[in-house]
């Protein structure tokens, strides 16, 4: 099973500037584990204390994973995952 | 480093900040990929609806990035307003700044300077803020 993962500019230093990479995993947790094995350090930019960082948005196809079970969100072959940092501030 | 932006966009952002006061307003200006030129203004909803915080709605954010990709554009400017403080990036602005290629524009309509408006632009890269000159074209 291979899933296309779109990487935002700010995380491309981890992926050698690739805009999209391929990873595997049946849940978001598994996918992030695989990403971190391929691109060490990227997991830390997505997770904090074992949870999804508040100001990182991850989408499976068109849906925010927060509505799909967050880290437990199921992923199936052919899904596309997009990571975007929140545009936010004070 | 500088930002060149049309008077029409400056006026529109200032008008949006007044219309949404006392909440912060926010939005983006897109331009052709690689051009660095802001050509298409997209006001965004502040999902935080707050006088001290802004956040693009996550669903709108995805739609925005899809548009950027589909139209071969880039995000040239990300803007928001400060309602009571200087038009200078706050600690949270710096912490969450995720677009190293964008100009971060801040407008402030704080009382101390009324009726004047501050309109300033910055690069925020790896936590470092660099103010840049703003050239407004008529």
Considering only CB atoms, which chain B residues are within 8 Å of A84? 61-62, 65
Helices (H) and strands (E) in chain B, counts: 3, 8
Looking at chain B, the whole-number percentage of residues with pLDDT higher than 90 is 92
CATH of region B2-137: 3.40.140.10
Name residues 54-83 of chain A within 8 A of B (Cβ).
Answer: 55, 57, 59, 62, 64, 66, 82
Q: Is A88 on the interface with B (CB under 8 A)?
A: yes
A30: in domain: yes
Tally the C-alpha atoms within 13 A of residue A57's C-alpha that lie toward its C-beta.
23
Q: Is B100 on the interface with A (CB under 8 A)?
A: yes
pLDDT digits (tens, 9 = 90+) for B16-65: 999 999 999 999 999 999 999 999 999 999 999 999 999 999 999 999 99
In this prediction, residue B1 has a pLDDT band, given cuts at 50, 70 and 90, of: confident
Domain that holds residue A52: 3-85
| Dist CA A32 CA A35 (whole Å) | 5
Point out the residues of chain A with pLDDT beneath 70. Answer: none
pLDDT reported for residue B112: 83
A90: in domain: no
Domain tally, chain A: 1
- Work out whether the CA dihedral A34, A3, A73, B68 comes out positive or negative: positive
CA dihedral A24, A27, A33, A34 (to 10 degrees): 0
Considering only CB atoms, which chain B residues are within 8 Å of A67? none
Q: What is the mean pLDDT of chain B?
A: 95
């Amino acid at each position: 099973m291979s899933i296309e993962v779109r990487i935002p500019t700010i995380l491309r230093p981890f992926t050698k500037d690739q805009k999209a990479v391929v990873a595997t995993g049946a849940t978001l947790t598994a996918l992030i584990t695989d990403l971190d094995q391929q691109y060490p350090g990227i997991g830390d930019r997505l997770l904090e204390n074992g949870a999804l960082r508040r100001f990182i948005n991850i989408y499976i196809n068109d849906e925010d994973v927060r509505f799909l079970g967050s880290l437990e969100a199921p992923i199936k072959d052919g899904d596309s995952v997009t990571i975007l940092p929140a545009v936010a501030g004070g | 480093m500088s930002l060149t932006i049309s008077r029409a966009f400056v006026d529109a952002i200032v008008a949006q900040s007044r219309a949404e006061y006392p909440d912060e307003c926010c939005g983006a200006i897109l331009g052709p990929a690689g051009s660095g030129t802001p050509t298409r203004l997209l006001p965004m909803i502040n999902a935080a609806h707050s006088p001290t915080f802004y956040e693009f709605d996550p669903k709108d954010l995805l739609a925005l990035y899809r548009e950027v990709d589909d139209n071969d554009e880039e995000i040239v400017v990300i803007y928001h307003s400060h309602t009571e403080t200087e038009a200078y990036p706050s600690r949270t602005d710096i912490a969450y700044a995720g677009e190293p290629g964008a100009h971060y524009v801040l407008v402030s309509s704080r009382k101390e300077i009324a009726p004047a408006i501050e309109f300033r632009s910055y690069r925020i890269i790896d936590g470092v803020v660099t103010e840049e000159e703003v050239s407004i074209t008529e």
